[in-house]
Structures are given as C-alpha cells and as structure tokens.
Amino acid sequence: MVYYHDGRTATVAVGKGTVNKSLFISTNGKPDASLDTAWVRYDTLAPRRYLGGDISTQVLLPLITMAHAPRGKVAAVIGEGSGMTSHLLLGSPYLTSVTTVEIEPGMIEGSKQFRPANSRVFDDPRSHIVIADAKTFFATQTGTFDMVVSEPSNPWVSGVSGLFTQEFYARVRRYLSPDGVFGQWLHLYEIDDALVLSVIEAIHRNFPSYEIYMTSNGDILIVASNKSTLPTPDWSVFDYPMIAKDLRPSMRFTPRSLDAAYVGGRAMFDPMFADRAGANSDFYPRLDLGSEKARFIHANADGIANLNFDDFDYVSALQRRRIPFDTETIAPVPSIPRQRALTEGAVLRKRRVATAEDTASGTDIGTMLARRARFEDAMASGRAPADWHAWMTDALQVSRDLHGGTAGVVDEHFYTEVSKYLAAQHAPAVTRQVFTFQRALWSYDFVAASALADTLGPDVAAGGTWYPADDLRDGGAIAKLALGDVDGARKYWVLLQPRTKRRPDSVRSLLIGAYIIAADRARKAHGSTQPAR
C-alpha cells in the first residue's frame, strides 16, 4: 500500500502489486483504475504490447470520444481515477482547457502515484481540477463544452448511480457546444442486462444520436451528441504527436481495429425502446436499487457484451451492415471480442503459428488451427465420416472460427471445398441443407436463407439437432424480415419458440422481437396487409 486516505466522501487507497509492480487505485476497496509498469514508467524502449486489464478502457475511453470531436477546444472529465483520461485528452493540440471534476480530494492526491503516466493533469497549464459533485458543477456552469467524458466509479458505490440518470443527461446535454459530444463509460461485469439497458435508455431519451463501443470485454463507451447524426470518428487523433508518444508501449491501432470496437447505436435500439419504459431516473432509480444485488450475485451483462458478437452477428444482419475479413494477425486489445475474432480468422487463413499476443485474454489460436487441420485432413481422406452429425458439428465450428468478427461475407474457397466433399460423399440431404443455409445467411442471401429455414424448421421444431434451434430461429426470422415477410417472420419466431434455450427477456430475443413488431407497425401504417417481397 503506497497511499491511504479516509476522505470526506470515500476511502481512497493506492496499492502496488508485489510481483509485477503494477499500480491500482480504489474507492472504498473497489479498484477504479490500474496501470502496469510499462505505462507508469513510460518505457519507450520496451517492446510494444497488447492492452489488457483496465488500461484498454483508460486509453480508448478518451480517445474514441475525442475522435468524434477531433478539433474540440474545451473538455470536462467526471472522475479522476488514475488521471489517464484527462492526461490523454490533453494530448490534443486543439484543446485549450480540460476540467477534471472530482468529488473526493483524496482521489486527486492518490492519483499522483501514477505520475508520469498522468503528468499533464498536474503540469499542463490547460488542466484545471475542480473538487465538486458533478451534478453541482454542471448546474452552475455558464459556458459549454466540446467534450464531456463521464467515468465515475461503479454505480453500487454510494451516490454514483445519480450520474447515470435521465435527469443528469438532460442537464449535461444543455452544456454541450453545437458540435459537442458526451462520452459515458459503463461496466458490463457485476451488473445485468436490464440495468445496462436502463442506462442506455436514459441516454436514448435525451440524445438524438449515440453510438456504443467496446473498450474491453467488460466495459463499454457510449458516445452521444445533440445532432441528429453523431459525427464520423476521425481516428487520426491517435496520431497526434503527444498521444502517439503516450501510446508507444501499446500495439499500433489501425482504423480497422478501432472500427471493430463498434457495437451499434440509436438506430439499433429504436425498435426496442419504442415500447420500453425502463430508463434509469432520479424518480425511478433502477440502477441504484439493483446494482448492489447484481454485484452480490456476480451477474454479468452478457447479452449486451455479445450484441454483435456471437455465432451469427444478428445485429449487423438486421442493419445490413457488412464487415469484411481482416489481414491483421495481432489485436491491440484482444479482450474486445470482434477485434480478437478478426485477428483469429486472419491467422487461420494464413495458417500462421500463433504468437503470445494472439493467445491473450483466453484466445486459443492453437486449438483453432488444429481443429481446421483435422477437419481438412478428414475431407482429404476421400472417405465419408462414420457420423455425419458429428462431422456437421465440426464443420460449423470451423466455419465460425474462420468467419469470426465478420458480417455479410463468406470464405468462398472454404464453402466450395466443403460443398464438393458433401457431393462426392453423397452426404445426407439435411447435411447439405444445413451447410447451405449457413452460407446463405452469413452472405446475406436472404432469399435462399428464408427458403432453407422453412425446410429445416419443422425438423428442429420436432426436436432435431442438426442445427442449433436458437440460431435457426434468429436466422429464419431475420431473413424473412429482410424480405419484408413480416407474417412469415412472426410465425417462424413462434414456431421455434418452444425449442429456444434463451430466456424471453434476453437482449437478443427482445431486440429481434422488437424488430418484428416494428416491421408490422410500419406495414400497417402504410396500409398494407400483404407481405412485401
């Protein structure tokens, strides 16, 4: 323990790891930020490394927000933490003022242990520290901000949940400049999907535009603005001279790797929130009342974490968004699911031996490479498998490995070779139908996918296990929605409902169900009773 202080609002402690010497700062015993030695010492000669732990959020939170207002001049940061957020914002040559609002003086003193990694907070004349409650600060302001970044402690800490309410967002948005943006951090660990949705809905009710990014596998950033469309991110902010120097210990970020952090935004949630009344509010404090329980039972918001990352990227399919294959074989932040999956696919296609960075954060490239090699060896043998059902399970998994992180594209060589093998070995018809369905669905050939879903649906509804029931249900309904067949989508959704393993209130089920309802309303609003083809 290198710093400890019982402050007027919280107990602040800074500790140093006994083995790796990394630093962490905590509020009432809950760690809020941490840095490893490469960042604390700013060792510019050390090999570049991927970002893991808290550091990826501490880096991406300010920089992704800044990318949406790259020429912003005035910024405010809610919460000091390690000081990295304010420090990186001050790396912009355009900012003339950054005000850090922190309610606990002990947090400011404790964060000095992280110098020089946060040195601009204390040494840059553009930096201003205000000891105040964030609500009070914004209630007394007369000017506006080009950027406001909110990164308080977790909402189970007393008083913090009030910074995630409709009323607070209504206040903050009044202090944004015409081109200003607001960045809100939120965790996905020790919280559930309903509580996370209550915060997103509170932002949805206040801001005409917002987009969500993953900053790790357990943290998200919501960037919002008062404009009807959020400005397109300018990733060149990562190349600002001072910021580029700050990022010297990390793997280089590319536009593709940063785009891979994107989840979705207002357009994605519009159908769901049209009928939902669950926003977190000062008068309906869902987050305050539920966060302690969620933490106690170790809940996780897995539905939000996997919104556009699962066996099938249903969110991108609903929005017709295509994400091509990548060629990068190392992810700067491997804990971001899509970023990691795209690099895994690149490694599989290049058949390259995995590096330490490839296998970070639970990624096992070696297993994927071995699985593909076994699968291809089995096809090269020229013999039919003893168990076609087991073979199909392996085939679908190899396909998912190859296509991880992509949307609307397929590896044509892989599918062609498998199709040739199926034909040569006179595979059962259902085997060919399953494989053709996945190829059609993943390539957005919705006409073929819809027809094949009708063929496979009765068998799966009766208990067949050739294709996961939930995936078939989602894919069939989405394909029919894409064709304008609203009645068909609803009937298919109902047909396979008894076979689903998901809870009805899962984010995935709620979102696809909301799209079906929204499509039905749109059809009735236009006076049509027949499905549009």
Exposed, middle or buried: residue 386 (CB in 10 Å: 0-12, 13-18, 19+)?
exposed
Assess if residue 498 is contained within a domain: yes
Same domain for 277 and 335? no
The strand pairing partners of 216, in sequence order, are 219
Same domain for 297 and 353? no
pLDDT on residue 533: 42
Assess if residue 55 is contained within a domain: yes
Q: Which of 252, 278, 303 is the last residue of a domain?
A: 303
Same domain for 351 and 290? no
pLDDT on residue 137: 92
Structure-block tokens of residue 436: 């053709």
Same domain for 271 and 403? no
Closest CA relative to residue 269, chosen from 53, 72, 515, 9:
515
Q: State how many domains the chain has.
A: 2
Extract long-range pairs of 357-366: CB within 8 Å, 24+ residues apart.
357/49, 357/50, 357/251, 357/330, 357/331, 358/329, 358/330, 358/331, 358/334, 360/50, 360/52, 360/331, 360/334, 360/335, 361/52, 361/217, 361/334, 361/335, 363/334
**Encoded amino acid at 416, one letter:** T
Same domain for 343 and 448? yes
Assess if residue 23 is contained within a domain: no
pLDDT on residue 44: 63
96: containing domain: 45-303
Same domain for 208 and 343? no
pLDDT, block means (10 residues), the chain with 533 residues: 92 87 87 81 71 90 98 96 95 97 94 92 96 91 94 81 93 95 95 95 97 94 97 96 90 92 94 91 91 90 85 88 90 90 88 49 72 91 92 91 92 93 94 94 96 94 90 95 96 94 90 94 76 45
Q: Can you give the pTM of this predicted structure? A: 0.93
Same domain for 140 and 275? yes
pLDDT on residue 42: 64
The strand pairing partners of 97, in sequence order, are 74
Distance, C-alpha 307 to centroid of its chain:
7
Q: In whole angstroms, what is the distance from residue 397 CA to residue 368 CA?
A: 9
Assess if residue 3 is contained within a domain: no
Assess if residue 532 is contained within a domain: no
Q: Which segments of 132-192 does DSSP mark as H helices, in order? A: 134-139, 166-173
Q: In whole angstroms, what is the distance from residue 76 CA to residue 163 CA?
A: 14
Same domain for 284 and 177? yes
In CATH, what number is assigned to the domain containing residue 153?
A: 3.40.50.150
Assess if residue 161 is contained within a domain: yes
Assess if residue 249 is contained within a domain: yes
Same domain for 204 and 89? yes
Q: Which of 246, 274, 303 is the last residue of a domain?
A: 303
pLDDT on residue 529: 53
Q: In whole angstroms, what is the distance from residue 515 CA to residue 488 CA?
A: 13
Q: Which of 303, 337, 371 is the last residue of a domain?
A: 303
DSSP 223: E
Same domain for 441 and 384? yes
Q: In whole angstroms, what is the distance from residue 104 CA to residue 82 CA?
A: 13
- Helical packing angle, 469-482 and 507-525, nearest 10°: 20
Assess if residue 313 is contained within a domain: no
Q: In what order do the strands lie in the sheet with 23-27?
A: 3-6, 11-16, 23-27, 30-35
Closest CA relative to residue 257, chosen from 231, 238, 243:
238
Same domain for 296 and 379? no
Same domain for 245 and 272? yes
